[in-house]
Structure 1
């Protein structure tokens, strides 16, 4: 069999996902790809980042937003999280075979984990690995996370959306009780897990040389980068949704419904008991066609000279 093992030198998640997409085009029977990312939130192919993430906190702390091509929920990555990808023939490779390889690698480190019904791997009842899948015409791609020593204390800062009411047909994440492999073995490192996965891969498919790879430098991957890591492309791919709220202002009560498509406010509907009924047309005029973006809407609120609209815009901003 013709196999490959790649170890990423890049820590840019979008570049690594673009590299993974490139590997799906290579003529190998089996590929193991190991990669570690700088802080980022990775959302599934059909997810709405506005309802999954706190984009304001992410922007303030330079946490990258990335959209993968597989399904599943939103996850937090940092340098304490080891990502693995197993690529095989669509007709013969199965997730059961892949899970067996990963569980064997963990067991060889003295970590006796189990598979849950949601395609998660658990250690003492805590999720230490989430997994997602993608199929092409010829390949089956299984990628997952392994929380080794991730900073779990900051996850809620980025994976907890604001109080904005959102109505969307996008796929929602399911909350899980998470933990680190370090809780089962204090001295564990990413390198130890990498070595064990490589040994399990070699035992299953034959000895294979490990190749270091910089996905950010591969022309085929560079050409694909925007699909995974360009914020404007990610927002364009976000399913249509509605942001709505009801709030009492000094000038009256208002219910505002904003329909968002491809990251832009495409429709504005407002219901109010305000004495000045012109506020409805003025709200539509200032909001329609504007990017659904914290910074843009904050700037609108700052520069607007109409007091009632300023309070309305400021409330919208506070919910993002």
Structure 2
């Protein structure tokens, strides 16, 4: 098997995500990518930065805004947080196998952790790792965070989740439900966690090529930087729509904007933290072109074989 371990020398999150995109094109059976970022907020592929972030404070305090290509919610990164990426063949890789590897690495440092909810890892009931996924035509990419010694006190300065999201988690703030690994192992460092992941990776897949790269200097990453870190692109304005509403589904919180012309739905725009990012394009395909009236939308719901889209259509119809 041809395996590789990459460690980022760069701390620019957009550059590191562009580097991850580059690694997705490389011909390895398995890749482990380890990276750390300067303070930033990373939003999911279809999230609305205006509702998720305190953009003014971020700009004044030099906190970078970055958009990743995977789904999920907004997260805060700093140098006390270790990011990891596991890339494998689409047909054979699984998040279950990846989580087993990460839990093995944590256990080797005396940390007994467990999976919970929407692909989080908990230590003593507090979230120490969030995870998200994406696939290409040939690869499965699983990336996640490991909070080691992050400054959790500043998270609420930059993240502004909706009241619905907080109510669904029965918490009053983002920081109240997260924790650092140092709460379970006071001497743990990023370097110790990196080595534990490397050992677990090679235990699962065998020896690997090791390489350290500065992705701010790699030409292939520089070419894609704007996809992740171009501020104006991330803040793309939402057009005026006839009807907008927000609802929290089992699969994620969603804000949907519907534009109607002459009684027909002409355009749909969705912002969501759903892990399955395909829900956006699938919803657009179903809704565009049908009459904007309750009966037509309920009829589409009855014939829809996609559970998440069917639930969305039910809520859309209830708004009329």
TM-score computed with the length of structure 1 as normaliser: 0.70
Structure 1 stretch displaced more, 176-185 or 6-15: 176-185
The residue number in structure 1 matching 2:125 is 125
The 1:91–1:82 alpha-carbon spacing in structure 2 relative to 1, beyond 3 Å, is same
Q: What residue ranges of structure 2 are gaps of 5+ in the alignment?
A: 164-172, 245-258, 260-320
Deviation readout 1:115-168 (Å, 9 max, x if unpaired): 0021000000000000000000000000000000000000000002699xxxxx
The residue number in structure 2 matching 1:220 is 220
The residue number in structure 1 matching 2:288 is none
Deviation readout 1:10-45 (Å, 9 max, x if unpaired): 000000000000100000000000000000000000
Aligned-pair distance for 1:218? 1.1
Q: Is the 8 A contact 2:54 2:157 kept in 1?
A: yes
The residue number in structure 2 matching 1:192 is 192
TM-score computed with the length of structure 2 as normaliser: 0.70
Q: What residue ranges of structure 1 are gaps of 5+ in the alignment?
A: 164-172, 245-258, 260-320
Q: Is the 8 A contact 1:40 1:77 kept in 2?
A: yes
Take 1:192 and 1:239, find their aligned partners in 2: how far apart are those partners?
47
Aligned-pair distance for 1:209? 3.3
Take 2:85 and 2:160, find their aligned partners in 1: how far apart are those partners?
27
Aligned residues: 236
Deviation readout 1:78-104 (Å, 9 max, x if unpaired): 000000000000000000000000000
The residue number in structure 2 matching 1:83 is 83
Does the residue aligned with 2:154 lie in a helix, a strand or coil? Answer: helix
Aligned-pair distance for 1:9? 0.2
Does 1:63 find its partner at 2:73? no
Q: Is the 8 A contact 2:156 2:174 kept in 1?
A: no
Q: Is the 8 A contact 1:38 1:79 kept in 2?
A: yes
Larger of the two Rg values belongs to structure: 1
Aligned-pair distance for 1:238? 6.3
Deviation readout 1:241-268 (Å, 9 max, x if unpaired): 89x9xxxxxxxxxxxxxx9xxxxxxxxx
Does the residue aligned with 2:111 lie in a helix, a strand or coil? Answer: coil
Take 1:132 and 1:94, find their aligned partners in 2: how far apart are those partners?
12
Structure 1 stretch displaced more, 49-58 or 203-212: 203-212
The residue number in structure 2 matching 1:19 is 19
Does the residue aligned with 1:223 lie in a helix, a strand or coil? Answer: helix
Q: Is the 8 A contact 2:156 2:175 kept in 1?
A: no
Aligned-pair distance for 1:207? 1.4
Q: Is the 8 A contact 2:130 2:146 kept in 1?
A: yes
The 1:193–1:174 alpha-carbon spacing in structure 2 relative to 1, beyond 3 Å, is same
What RMSD over aligned residues (CA atoms) do the two structures have, in Å?
Answer: 2.4
Q: Is the 8 A contact 1:47 1:238 kept in 2?
A: no
Take 1:106 and 1:221, find their aligned partners in 2: how far apart are those partners?
30
Q: Is the 8 A contact 1:127 1:176 kept in 2?
A: no
The residue number in structure 1 matching 2:156 is 156
The residue number in structure 2 matching 1:256 is none
Deviation readout 1:211-263 (Å, 9 max, x if unpaired): 11111111111000001001011112868789x9xxxxxxxxxxxxxx9xxxx
